[in-house]
Structure 1
Amino acid sequence: MFSLIVGNRGSGKTKMLIDMANERAKTSNGTSIFIDADKSHMYDLPHNVRYISTMDLPLQSAQEFFGFICGLMASDYDLENLYIDGLKKTMKGSMDEIAENIKRVEAYAEVSNVKVVATVTCEMEEIPEELKKYIKE
């Protein structure tokens, strides 16, 4: 399952994502991972949510980010929840590249039984039509 939280800067997307991760951490038996472009929210999450900052990784494209995500899912059979804050920053690609890789992430998440929730900072009109089905209201 894949969900997108879309909104402008300062609209509360990150807070919503952190709240979701904190709530799921209370009841989840599996692993939860929170990916961010920097380390600014590291202390907003409990210790049982693994925090990964992409600023420490040499990722340069949406394709490399997709490979990284697949590696996380393939290496942890207990992974239940994956949270990605700031998809445009972490994926480092155009909206078309991001859209293509989101479809690939969703397909692999479905097979791996991982719930993926990501935020993207943009206007609703910037979201490609094929991604609108993932938007969480």
Structure 2
Amino acid sequence: MVNLLTGPKGSGKTQQMIELANKAAKESDGHVIFIKKSHRDTYSLSFDIRAICMDDYEAIDNIDAYLGFIYGMTSADHDIKAIFIDAILKHAHISLDDIPEFLEKLKKISKECDLDFYVSISAGKEELRLVDAEGCAYLN
């Protein structure tokens, strides 16, 4: 399942993502990953969560490289149960136009690897009208 948290910049999505990740880490019998742009605000995450800052991976600069990075994580750790991706539009030059394709590929990975994705997007639902909502859940 791909879970989407949408809304304008500054609407509290990051804090919601952190709370959801901390809850998932407590309730999950597997590993939880939290991917964000920078090292800011990672102190609020539970110690059990693997925080990944994309600033450390400058070579990942497009949607295909980003998806390859995710496949690499899932192939190296079969115990991952949830991957949180905060502020996706700040990662790897991903734009709003890339989101429908990106989410379709996340749905595929979710099914193949039996894990859930949580993605925050600084956009309203009306801006995501091209997204196929089947296999997605809006959390707000």
Q: TM-score, normalised by structure 1?
A: 0.92
CA shift, 1:96, in A, is 2.5
Q: Is 34-43 or 126-135 further displaced after alignment?
A: 126-135
RMSD over equivalenced CA pairs, Å: 1.4
Aligned length: 137
CA shift, 1:131, in A, is 4.3
CA shift, 1:68, in A, is 0.7
User: Does the 8 Å contact 2:99/2:131 carry over to 1?
Assistant: no
CA shift, 1:101, in A, is 1.8
Structure with the higher fraction of residues in helix conformation: 1
Gaps of 5+ in 2: none
Alignment-mate amino acid for residue 110 of structure 2 = A
Residue 82 (structure 2) aligns with: 81
SS in 1 for 2:35: strand
User: Does the 8 Å contact 1:31/1:80 carry over to 2?
Assistant: yes
Alpha-carbon separation, structure 2, partners of 1:111 and 1:88: 24
Residue 34 (structure 1) aligns with: 34
Alignment-mate amino acid for residue 65 of structure 1 = Y
Q: Is 96-105 or 13-22 further displaced after alignment?
A: 96-105
Q: Deviations over 1:52-88 (max 9, x none)?
A: 0000102111111111111111211100010000011
Q: Percent identity, please.
A: 28
Alpha-carbon separation, structure 2, partners of 1:119 and 1:131: 16
Tell me which stretches of 4 or more aligned residues in structure 1 moved more than 6 Å.
none
Gaps of 5+ in 1: none
CA shift, 1:129, in A, is 2.5
User: Does the 8 Å contact 1:31/1:79 carry over to 2?
Assistant: yes
Alignment-mate amino acid for residue 55 of structure 1 = D
